[in-house]
Amino acid sequence: MKAVIDPAISGEQVRHDVGRGEAVTYSFRFSDAERKIYRKRKHMPVSKWCERHRVITMGRMPGKWKNEITPCLAGIMDASFFPSVETTIVCAADQGGKSESVNNCIGYAIDRDPGPTLFVYPDEQTAKENSKDRILPMIQSSPRLRTYLSGTVDDEAALRINLKHMPIYMAWARSASRLANKPIKYIVFDETDKYPPTAGKREADPISKGEKRLRTYRHNRKIWKLSTPTIETGPIWAALTKEAQVIFIYEVCCPDCGMIQRMVFEQIKWPEGERDPENVELKELAWYECIRCKSKWNDLKRDVAVRWGRWRSMEAGETIGDYKEDRSGEGERSGLELIKYLRKYRPSKIGFHMPSWLSHFVGLSEAAAAFLRGLKDKIKLKDFNNSHAAIPWTDWMAERKEDKILILKDDRPEGLVPSGGIVSCLTAGVDTQKYGFWYEVRAWGWGMTQESWQVRCGFVDSIESIEQVLFKEEYLDSDGKEYFVRFAVHDAMGGRTAEIYDFARMHRGRLAPFKGEQNMAQPHKFGKIDTYPGTNKMIPGGIMLLRANVTYFKNQLANKLEISPADPGAWHMNADMPDEWAMHMCAEYVNDKGFWENPPSKANHGWDCSVYNLVAANVLRVKFKKKEKAEEKTKKRRVISKGM
């Protein structure tokens, strides 16, 4: 018996030819599930799909997804599913919608091209929160995606969502086990710059380990890497600049003159002379100025300009975050529009760069205020670079030069204290080496500015010599007034710890043995050394170890060295300071982890002594010393002495 489908009969009717010209016809019907699988669908871009089927449940604008709110994201989503594209890299400012755009891509995959999916977050808590607050609600709130839920409570767990036709796994960068033993078709690396260097003590980095899960789907896998940048060697910036075959930047269209132009921060303006960031932000004083017609865009007009914009490939020689690009051609570029580039070159790894001023959710005045705050605070300038400009932070302290130290010299010879009653006390810092001691004696002014003057610096080779410098020398100003070192901080970690402890016991109250730490919750803290055996009880007359957050004080010193000698709070040097000392002051730099580091080939003894002086001033609470109160206290003491 042979079954033959008669074209003249309905697709759900089949005729069996049983021989001798006889035939039996019977009818059947496909189930709804079979219809869904066998139905040939027309191609639909991700951006169109999410407007039909995506519902936002969290955020400022809940409801159906609208591309007109975040037009930049439409191109990113559509490009992700271009046939040749395997890896999509998104380097963007905070809260620009990058995570939601990739969630849309996974929603599209669930409906149109299913496969095992893995989300990788920086930590376990973030993975659980995103699963509960974003991924599962995205599926439950969409009438289309909801049909793929199995209906079993266990299938909607925090770390694994089992749909009828595909699993969705949650993992975090610190767990090697969560990144292993799963064949994956789609993988999302979210906030990559918050990942640890490795997934475990004996494991590779989380991104490399996660990418190995896609080998089974070598010809149709998809990878997303997205994050706000931190430093140049961070994962997202390295991926964008070294891994991506092409980088796309977004161009806007002026609503007044129609010029297509790249939107750069230098065109964000605010009233001349206005430097108060709070005033700029609260009163919304900033605007964007068109390069050609000089028209002023407020936030609403900026949104229109972005809505009419397009993604364009960067041309050779063009750099990200370059605010001084050549505009001699009135902004016209030779790069191709996104889809034209993809069709012509068919790249497999593409990158997108998106600063905050393109976002509907970030006001122009907010970006301007963030920049103004950065002019006064290095940490806030780093926040502006990362969270608004979407470029990595390069620490300016690494670029300090010796001539910037030499200009801090004044006309005082070594050993002379500044006169005129401007000095409140003297401190000293001592850096211990196996072969001797580097030292600096420093005078401190009155009040919050903490202005200070180097009195003496150098090197001695014995504990007796450093004792002479610190406690047996008299330091005079030009009026003949005597000063003594009030407090000294002595490094006890230079291989001569026991000797330094004994020296501190000889000068208890005037000298503290010191240990520096890179990360402490408070600037300085004292710990007990001399205690009764087996107890934590201090021996009378015993000493304590001074510990301090050297990162905090080195940052403070770097800021001090930037102050002009003519301005309050400057870090002055005496006229006889050797050039070698200036070299010491430029040795250290900030590494990728944010800690200060000293190259093995460079000496940093002068730098360390200066840090110890800052610690000493902090212990003495120098910035709270008031000249008037000190003079009044001295006057009372003299009156009592006269009466007696």
pLDDT score for 17:
56
In a domain, 546, yes or no: yes
In a domain, 93, yes or no: no
The residue type of 209 is K
In a domain, 415, yes or no: yes
Distance CA 406, CA 574 (A): 10
Please check whether residue 489 is in contact with residue 519, taking contact to mean a CB–CB distance below 8 angstroms. Answer: no
The residue type of 336 is L
Please check whether residue 87 is in contact with residue 235, taking contact to mean a CB–CB distance below 8 angstroms. Answer: no
The per-type count for the chain, helices as H runs and strands as E runs, is: 21, 31
pLDDT score for 232:
85
Q: Which domain holds residue 406?
A: 402-629
Please name which of 376, 393, 364 lies closest in space to residue 237, comparing C-alpha atoms. Answer: 393
Please name which of 253, 369, 247 lies closest in space to residue 301, comparing C-alpha atoms. Answer: 253
- What percentage of the chain's residues is helix, strand, coil (to nearest 5)? 35, 25, 40
Beta bridge partners of 515: 547
Distance CA 470, CA 490 (A): 11
Detail the DSSP E strand segments found in 355-474: 416-417, 423-433, 436-445, 452-460
pLDDT score for 640:
37
How far from chain centre, in Å, is Cα 502? 44
pLDDT score for 199:
77
In a domain, 476, yes or no: yes
In a domain, 64, yes or no: no
pTM of the model: 0.61
Distance CA 345, CA 197 (A): 34
Please name which of 515, 513, 443, 522 lies closest in space to residue 476, comparing C-alpha atoms. Answer: 443
In a domain, 261, yes or no: no
Chunked into runs of 10 residues, the chain (644 residues) has average pLDDT values of 45 54 69 70 88 86 89 95 96 89 95 94 92 92 92 82 93 88 93 87 85 90 95 91 94 94 91 89 94 94 95 81 43 76 96 95 94 82 90 63 89 94 95 93 91 96 95 92 96 88 93 89 87 82 90 91 90 94 90 78 92 96 77 48 32
In a domain, 513, yes or no: yes
Please name which of 342, 290, 287, 289 lies closest in space to residue 311, comparing C-alpha atoms. Answer: 342
Please name which of 226, 589, 278 lies closest in space to residue 390, comparing C-alpha atoms. Answer: 226
Positive or negative torsion for Cα 234, 235, 240, 241: positive
In a domain, 243, yes or no: no
How far from chain centre, in Å, is Cα 472? 49
Phi, psi angle pair for 640, to nearest 5°: -65, -45
Please name which of 29, 25, 1 lies closest in space to residue 14, comparing C-alpha atoms. Answer: 25
CATH classification at residue 563: 3.30.420.280
pLDDT score for 324:
39
Cβ neighbors of 78 (< 8 A, separation 6 or more) are: 45, 46, 47, 338, 339
pLDDT score for 331:
45
Number of domains into which the chain is organized: 2
The residue type of 342 is L
Please check whether residue 63 is in contact with residue 325, taking contact to mean a CB–CB distance below 8 angstroms. Answer: no
DSSP code for 375: T
DSSP one-letter string for 30-68? --HHHHHHHSPPPP--HHHHHHHH-EE-SSSS-EE--TT
